[in-house]
Each structure stands twice: as C-alpha cells, then as structure tokens.
Amino acid sequence: MNALTYYSYDSPLGTLLLVSNDQHLILIKFGTIQENEKEITSWAEKHSLPSKLIDSKEPLKETITQLDQYFNGERKTFSIPYKFHGTPFQRKVWQALAKIEYGETCSYLDIAQHIDSPKAVRAVGGANNKNPISIVIPCHRVIGKNGNLIGYGGGLDKKEYLLTLERAEA
C-alpha cells in the first residue's frame, strides 16, 4: 500500500492516533490527526515510509479491540503485529521494553544492563523517549532508579494513570 492508515481512538487518556502500514501497527501518538499530521509525515519520510495518510479503522481493528481490553483491565499483553522503525540501538531498547511485565516497573539502568550496555543509561532514556508505539510497547513502565516517575511523551499524568491501572489489575 502506498499510504499509511490511521484511526483516532478515544481512550481514557484522550485521543490516541493509531497508525499502521501493511497491517502492522507502527505508531501511537497522543492527540488528533490535526495536531500530529506534520510530525507523522516527517517521521514517515525519515523512515522511507509512505507519507500519505488515509483514515481507516479496518487495518487497526485488532489494535482497537486489544486497547479496549487493556483499558478495561481485561488484557495484560498485546499480541498485535507491529513493526519498529528506528536505529538498531533503539530497536534493541524497544525489544527490551516489550519484555517488561504488566504491573512491573524498572529503571533505565535496568534496561541498559539487560541489553548489555550498562554505561548507556542516557542513550536508553533517549531511545525510550522515541518509542513510537507507546502503551503497546510499555515505556510507561520505566521509572527513575529512585522510584520516581520520570519522563513520558504523553505527560506524567498519563504515565501515572497507566501504572495505577496496571497495579490495580496485576
């Protein structure tokens, strides 16, 4: 397909913009298409993806179903097809993020050690910040080594909501 498909999903956190390419989830952004279209187009071009966007729920139906289940406390893992677009280091970090269990948290140092790069704590933080598939790839589960909530693209209030949801259902 020569276009990316998107759908505006109404979540308890506000609108989430879901973006797919060839039946793979590739991006979740907080906000509307109007707020994110330029950024998504630029991101797509950077990763040699189509920059045309088509509003279509169909390719994202399973993602929507699983997000509904997650927000209702009925799902702890996601099994939707997704594809990472980033550097090899970023993909390594994102793969490690995907392994953090529901209801658990860890630090950037924990992730750095897990990927055999214990001195790359800041780089891990940078990759975590660039995670394109928020919630499904649970970057919200990474906290400061002192236990404090730190950084989240959607805002700390959304991170706190997700962690509280998971603690209640774990």
User: Hey, which residues are catalytic here?
Assistant: 139
Angstrom distances, CA of residue 158 to CA of 6, 41, 56, 153, 155: 22, 25, 26, 9, 6
Q: How buried is residue 128: exposed, middle or buried, by Cβ count under 10 Å (0-12/13-18/19+)?
A: buried
Question: Widest CA span of the chain, in angstroms?
Answer: 46
DSSP 8-state class, residue 164: H
At 137, give phi and psi (nearest 5°): -100, 105
Q: What is the 3-state secondary structure (H, E, C) of 57-93?
A: CHHHHHHHHHHHHHHCCCCCCCCCCECCCCCHHHHHH
- Using DSSP's 3-state secondary structure scheme, residue 101 falls into coil
